[in-house]
Amino acid sequence: MPRVRLGAVEYLNARPLIYGLTQSAAFDLRLDTPARCAELLHGGAIDLGLIPSIEYLRAGTADGYLIVPDVAVGSRGPVASVALYTTRAVEDVRSIALDTTSRTSVALTRILCRHAFRIAPELHLHSPALEEMLARCDAALLIGDRALALNGGPMYLRTRNGDRQSPVERHVEKIDLGEVWTRHTGLPFVYAFWAGPPDAVTPSQVRELQRARDAGVRQPEQVAAEYFAEETAQVERGAQYLRDNIRYVLGPEEHAGLERFYEYAVEAGLVPRRVPLRFFAS
Q: How many CB atoms lie within 10 A of CB 32?
A: 18
Q: Where are the alpha helices (DSSP H) in the chain?
A: 34-42, 104-112, 130-136, 144-149, 177-185, 203-218, 220-227, 235-244, 252-267
Entry pTM: 0.92
Q: Do residues 77 and 179 lie in contact, with contact meaning Cβ atoms separated by under 8 Å?
A: yes
pLDDT at 230: 79
- Give the C-alpha separation, 257 to 77, whole Å: 12
Q: What is the pLDDT of residues 89-145, one digit of tens each?
A: 999 999 999 999 889 999 999 999 999 999 999 999 999 999 899 989 999 999 999
pLDDT at 158: 60
Torsion of Cα atoms, 79 then 80 then 86 then 87, to 10°: 150
Nearest to 141 by CA among 182, 100, 169, 181: 100
- List, run by run, the mean pLDDT of 10-residue segments along the chain (282 residues): 91 94 90 93 96 92 91 97 96 96 93 97 94 93 91 68 59 95 98 96 97 96 92 90 97 97 95 93 90
Nearest to 191 by CA among 265, 256, 266, 257: 257
Nearest to 139 by CA among 105, 183, 109: 109
DSSP code for 228: T
Domains of the chain, first to last: 4-74+189-238+246-267 (3.40.190.10), 82-185 (3.40.190.10)
* CB-based contacts of 128, cutoff 8 Å, min separation 6: 99, 100, 101, 142, 143, 146
- Give the C-alpha separation, 279 to 121, whole Å: 37
228 to 218, 221, 225, 238: CA distances (angstroms): 18, 10, 5, 8
Q: What is the pLDDT of residues 180-198, one digit of tens each?
A: 999 999 999 999 999 999 9
Q: Do residues 261 and 50 lie in contact, with contact meaning Cβ atoms separated by under 8 Å?
A: no
The residues pairing with 170 across neighbouring beta strands, listed in sequence order, are 155
pLDDT at 141: 96
pLDDT at 183: 98
pLDDT at 258: 97
pLDDT at 102: 85
The residues pairing with 154 across neighbouring beta strands, listed in sequence order, are 171
- Give the C-alpha separation, 138 to 142, whole Å: 14
- Give the C-alpha separation, 279 to 56, whole Å: 12
- Give the C-alpha separation, 96 to 109, whole Å: 9
